[in-house]
């Protein structure tokens, strides 16, 4: 579409339809987050049955119950790595959504910094969505199956 400089036009603000990721499950069920910097993570899993306390007669002795045991599991968590290509045309010739074409563009260094900020935010949102997906899988199935290039 050709734009005539002799027509009156207004550029409206861009309608952004990307909503920030919701973290309802993580916030509700996994709020105690611990960041680790080791290659392997060991977990003690306490497996016990949820038994009810036994009823006894008032004159009988207390019932003997067994302690629950545990097992130790070791996992190697996967990495999350992403990158986005930044082409010179992204900075030199393109304008951002909602930016007016009539008043001139900002300088390329500023556009590069703005694009980097958008890219980092976009990738961070993908990580948050992955963590929420993992929380959903754990709650629904009791396990998280990691697929992709991961070999753990």
Task: Give me the tens of pLDDT residue by residue for the chain, a chain 152 residues long.
Answer: 676 766 776 666 666 667 788 899 999 999 988 888 899 999 898 887 788 898 999 999 999 988 888 999 998 888 888 999 988 887 776 666 766 666 555 677 888 888 888 899 999 999 999 999 999 999 999 888 887 776 55
The pLDDT, as a whole number, for residue 6 is 67
CA distance 128 to 10: 36
Name the pTM for this structure. 0.69
Yes or no: say if 5 and 119 are a contact pair by the CB < 8 Å rule.
Answer: no
Check residue 6 and report its DSSP letter: T
Q: For position 59, what pLDDT does the model report?
A: 92
Q: What gap in Å lies between CA 31 and CA 25, rounded to an integer?
A: 9
Residue in the block written with tokens 């060991």: 42
* Alpha-carbon distances, residue 53 vs 48, 58, 62, 67 (angstroms): 14, 15, 11, 13
Which residue in this structure is represented by tokens 């899988």?
137
Extract the runs of DSSP E, i.e. beta strands, from the chain. Answer: 41-47, 69-75
Q: What is the pLDDT of residue 45?
A: 87
The sign of the dihedral angle between the CA atoms of 91, 94, 96, 101 is: positive
Looking at residue 25, its pLDDT comes to 94
What is the pLDDT at residue 104? 58
List the one residue out of 62, 67, 31 whose CA is nearest residue 51.
67
Given a contact cutoff of 8 angstroms between Cβ atoms, the answer to whether 122 and 16 are in contact is no
């Amino acid at each position: 579409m050709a734009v005539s400089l002799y027509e009156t036009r207004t550029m409206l603000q861009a309608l952004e339809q990307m909503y920030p990721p919701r973290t309802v499950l993580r916030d509700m069920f996994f709020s105690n987050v611990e960041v680790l910097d080791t290659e392997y993570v060991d977990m003690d899993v306490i497996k016990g049955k949820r038994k009810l306390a036994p009823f006894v007669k008032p004159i009988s002795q207390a019932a003997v119950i067994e302690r629950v045991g545990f097992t130790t599991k070791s996992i190697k968590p996967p990495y999350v790595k992403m990158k986005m290509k930044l082409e010179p045309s992204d900075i030199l010739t393109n304008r951002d959504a909602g930016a007016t074409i009539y008043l001139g563009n900002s300088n390329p260094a500023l556009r590069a910094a703005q694009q980097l900020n958008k890219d980092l935010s976009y990738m961070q949102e993908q990580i948050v969505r992955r963590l929420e997906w993992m929380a959903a899988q754990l709650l629904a199935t009791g396990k998280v199956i990691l697929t992709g290039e991961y070999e753990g």
